[in-house]
Amino acid sequence: MGKADFLSPKAISNRIKSKGLQKLRWYCQMCQKQCRDENGFKCHCMSESHQRQLLLASESPHKFMDFFSEFKSGFVELLRRRFTKRVHNNIVYNEYISDREHIHMNATRWETLTDFTKWLGRQLCKVDETPKGWYIQYIDRDPETIRRQEELARRKKHELDDEERSAKFIEEQVRRGRGGKEEEEDPVYTELKRESEEEALAKASSTKRKEPSSASDSRDKKRKSALEQIIEMEERKKQQQQPLKTDHWLQPNIVVKVVTKRLGDKYHRKKAVVTEMRDPFTAVVKMIDSGDKLKLDQNHVETVIPAPGKRVMIVNGNFRDTEAVLEGIDEKNFCASLTLDSKGKRVDVAYEDFSKLA
């Protein structure tokens, strides 16, 4: 019997059946072939090409198992890229298998989606079981993200420590200001008694004689108390100690590191020298390894911390545009000790506020 004509009903039906996903039990993952029915799958398993593929797999099983493990990487990549919040695991799986060329789960070491979800909960994600099923949430464990979160938490803790020290200092000053003065006694409440007319007139006359002293008391109240003066002094001192930081820090003749991934692996995490400033936020850099010149924004680069004893440039803060020598690094507080060239003074500067000199 000859092959059906291209426009015949049978040929059209065959083309319609070939589109989309068929039953999973009639799919051969080893040969990546989808069969339409049980008879077709049986014929395929008896074919020479299938037997040859099985022989190849038996010779190097690790190679094929590594290929099948791409199910996990593809699933996790889709979860990380598309679903940033808590989501039902079946929603992610349905979107993953919408690709006809995806790796089927029955070819991996996980038999069901529930087993795979539990494994993700032990390795990469946060999962919880509800009456509606399993929900999953991706946890970003990128070292760069974790470092930035730790640095932000450290800065907040440092600010709280400064406020606590300031509050303790104020309390100490107030205590010293009181000195040996006795604390005010608690008020004593007496019984209310009606006064006679003669006593009322006598009190009125005495109040008139005491008016000048009451006026002086009101003037004293207008004056600032010692506590208010101490608070103002602490605020002025804190303003003087705060670093004069700006939102731009790039400068010529400093070494920076490229952190953006948009330029590919050729430039990612590679060092460069700032040769020219186009504006406060954009610079032309020359790659140290290849000599290529790139125009980058300051968000695409970060400062470089050299070895102790090397020269650096302070790019932000109170000592901006000052050259210094790196004396030591404080990894716990994310800062370094620098000796200023102009004054010979030693200061502590945060990692992002200085960079290696070219």
The enclosing domain of 272 has a CATH number of 2.30.30.140
d(CA 334, CA 305): 11
Q: Where is the domain boundary, 88, 119, 138? A: 138
Q: Where is the domain boundary, 114, 138, 162? A: 138
Can you read off the two tokens belonging to residue 189?
């409440």
Model confidence over 225-243: pLDDT tens digits? 677 777 777 766 655 555 5
| Angle in degrees, CA 50, 93, 45, rounded to 5 | 10
Position 275 scores a pLDDT of 92
The two most distant CA atoms of the chain are separated, in Å, by: 138
In a domain, 4, yes or no: no
d(CA 256, CA 306): 11
d(CA 184, CA 318): 46
Q: Which domain holds residue 100?
A: 67-138
Q: Where is the domain boundary, 138, 162, 181? A: 138
In a domain, 348, yes or no: yes
Number of domains observed in the structure of the chain: 2
d(CA 350, CA 335): 4
| 18 contacts: CB under 8 Å, gap ≥ 6 | 36
In a domain, 79, yes or no: yes
In a domain, 212, yes or no: no
Q: Are 300 and 258 in contact (CB under 8 A)?
A: yes
In a domain, 283, yes or no: yes
Position 182 scores a pLDDT of 47
In a domain, 263, yes or no: yes
Say which CATH number the domain at 85 has: 1.10.10.2030
In a domain, 152, yes or no: no
pLDDT above 70: percentage of residues in the chain: 74
pTM of the model: 0.35
Position 62 scores a pLDDT of 67
10-residue block means of pLDDT along the chain (358 residues)?
Answer: 73 69 69 80 88 80 62 81 83 82 71 84 84 85 72 77 77 75 54 58 58 51 65 67 75 92 86 91 90 88 91 88 90 88 83 90
In a domain, 239, yes or no: no
Position 3 scores a pLDDT of 66
